[in-house]
Structure 1
Amino acid sequence: MITTYRKYFEPAYGDPLPGTRIQAPEVCDMEDFGKWRKMHHLQTIADLTNDIKSCYCYRPIMEIETTDTAVDRDGAQIPLRIYHPQGEGPFPIMLFIHGGGWRMNNLDIYDYVPRYFAKYGHVAVVSVDYRLAPEYKFPTGLEDAYAALEWAVANAGSYRGDPGSVTVCGDSAGGNFSAVLCLMSRDRGGPAIHKQILLYPATTFLLKERTESEKRYGNGDHFLIINSELGMVNDYFADQKDAENPYASPLNADSLRDLPPACFISAECDPLLDQALMYAARLQDEGVPVDYHLYTGVLHAFINQTYQKTFEAMDDIIAAVPGSYR
């Protein structure tokens, strides 16, 4: 089994830009995690809204119409939010999968990101509110995302989407899901995915030693605390052996052949940087076209900030979507 791999390129591992905001690592109340998560979500939404309101794009993106619906999976209603571009279509489809360490965040926290894609890229975005750990263990949230992919393709006509251009896009844990959905699509015979856009994805739970990016940025003074020697997000799994499943650790899959072209969006000052670089290298070595964008001086989760590099990254994402208007 592959547990580590070469990197797509060797990064400089530089310092954050002077104006980069560095949040303290999250300290969760595990005795009442559900209550703590709800309060954290409300505060995060308030903070993000306050930031984005001062940006020129705020009013244009808020003109994007949305529809809230749901897909049924095993008797559970999995919320979806559709972002409708202006115009007649059909529009390229993006399934957007938010990050949050498999345990955090929701549609509202990431609302501005799909709005931007719909407004400036004329992309029909379906955002999925998958179920979270620790209440729901692997692979519940992942299968929710796969059900959302099936729904997005089967119902494309209802929101003027083009099933001939389907992109999966997600950040962090959502980047993990996006990478894995491509494996699932290949293994299960569909739905067809034409592009994978992976924002600072987690690609393996099986590292035995800390990577250079973990050593440099994973100690809490660059937002995240990650130490692969001690395990990562253990409450995502009911059985720690599940971490060996390629649908949890795609870097360790037997084969990455016959997957859609990949676009990587990485933050330089991110403990997960090397995981993305290893996955990109392995995709390339197995014949998958790779386009890699590294944004120097920014931290993990910078897509939810209002830096100039945030908007540059979102424009690069739009440009990577087959059939987008950017």
Structure 2
Amino acid sequence: MPIHPEIAKILATLPTPDGSPLDPEAMRAGEAAQVPPVEDRLPLHAVEEATAVTPSGDVPVRIYTPAEADAYGLLVYFHGGAFFLGSLDTHDAVARSLAKETGHKVISVGYRLAPEAAFPAGLDDCYGVVRWAAEQGADLGWDGKNLAIAGDSSGGTFVAAVAAKAHDDGFDRITHQILFYPSLDLDFDVDRYGSLRENAEGYGLETAGLKPFNAFYLDSGADPADPLVSPIKREDLSGLPRALVITAEFDPLRDEGELYGQRLQDAGVEAKVSRYAGANHGFVQNFSWIPEFYRAFEETGQFLNRD
């Protein structure tokens, strides 16, 4: 099917990339200006700011409680933004929707960003918060069952990397990994995946923009050959948590996400790959007001809550 008509309307208003250098501060300010006021956001039982004390330092988190209950599953969420954009505020709507549709208490991680924080600062923050959540389970009202991790785009990179780090460290409390249109191969060889050419231009995220957008992260010391940077390069995926990989039809990164899901299955890991027709990269953050795309949150809830 073609790109969804509502997405097409927005894409038609976007300026053509001119190749000028990216300005992180200006881009972050532009994102912040688009954040809706609190009164216009999805209401939940409680939303609170907290600090996770981790081996990598104090990490700001935002905790979303969907409804009053005796106990909850926990879902630790890593926002996207090519490792240099995004914040607790820019992805607040995603975290709220995840809490509502999963019934889990969501812990959104305000990890350190490139280029100010060199690799592996952001990854260490994400992993540290997952360990912190398990340690603080009683205070968080954890029911001791699900401890899931979720992320979109570069946040999906961190999901796969955190799952691998936890496995290698013998930390076996993570039960699920949810990756929304993840970036899993930072090599960016345009011939590596068909979707890099098929969806190269005209759908928001463009193949030619992948290198400059990720340059802040790579230039900070992240090596694309490292499986913690490009999780698709991990040779042995056995023993990792069950996975839900959600991809978008018109996304240059589509095929690497789907390959990760297939490789998990081949390694004996329970994994589901769900491609959203008519969608582009970023649809969970940008277009979840369209009912057929909001379904990604509902599908996540079904994934986490089934027996």
TM-score, normalization: structure 2? 0.88
Matched, 1:321 2:304: yes
Q: In structure 1, the residue corresponding to 2:122 is in which secondary structure?
A: helix
- Structure-1 separation of matches of 2:159 and 2:105: 17
Question: Given the superposition, is the C-alpha separation of residues 166 and 73 from structure 1 closer, same or farther in structure 2, using an over 3 Å criterion?
Answer: closer
Q: In structure 2, the residue corresponding to 1:78 is in which secondary structure?
A: strand
The answer to whether the 8 A contact 1:93-1:167 is kept is: yes
* Partner in structure 2 of residue 62 of structure 1: 43
* Partner in structure 2 of residue 37 of structure 1: 27
Matched pairs, number: 300
Matched, 1:117 2:98: yes
Paired amino acid for 1:321 = L
- Structure-1 separation of matches of 2:33 and 2:209: 29
5+ long unaligned stretches in structure 1: 1-13
- Structure-2 separation of matches of 1:308 and 1:104: 26
1:214 to 177, 196, 211: 196
Question: Given the superposition, is the C-alpha separation of residues 172 and 32 from structure 1 closer, same or farther in structure 2, using an over 3 Å criterion?
Answer: closer
Paired amino acid for 2:155 = G
* Partner in structure 1 of residue 242 of structure 2: 261
- Structure-2 separation of matches of 1:307 and 1:75: 38
Matched, 1:132 2:119: no
* Partner in structure 2 of residue 72 of structure 1: 53
2:205 to 224, 237, 242: 224
**Relative contact order higher in (CA < 8 Å, ≥ 6 apart):** 1
2:279 to 298, 305, 323: 298
- Structure-1 separation of matches of 2:210 and 2:93: 35
The answer to whether the 8 A contact 2:164-2:240 is kept is: yes
- Structure-2 separation of matches of 1:159 and 1:208: 43
TM-score, normalization: structure 1? 0.84
Question: Given the superposition, is the C-alpha separation of residues 229 and 80 from structure 1 closer, same or farther in structure 2, using an over 3 Å criterion?
Answer: closer
The answer to whether the 8 A contact 1:149-1:191 is kept is: no
2:88 to 107, 113, 125: 107
* Partner in structure 1 of residue 2 of structure 2: 15
TM-superposition CA deviations, 1:184-217 (whole Å, max 9, x none):
1100111521111110001112353332211122
The answer to whether the 8 A contact 1:153-1:191 is kept is: no
Paired amino acid for 1:104 = L
* Partner in structure 2 of residue 4 of structure 1: none
5+ long unaligned stretches in structure 2: none
Matched, 1:204 2:194: no
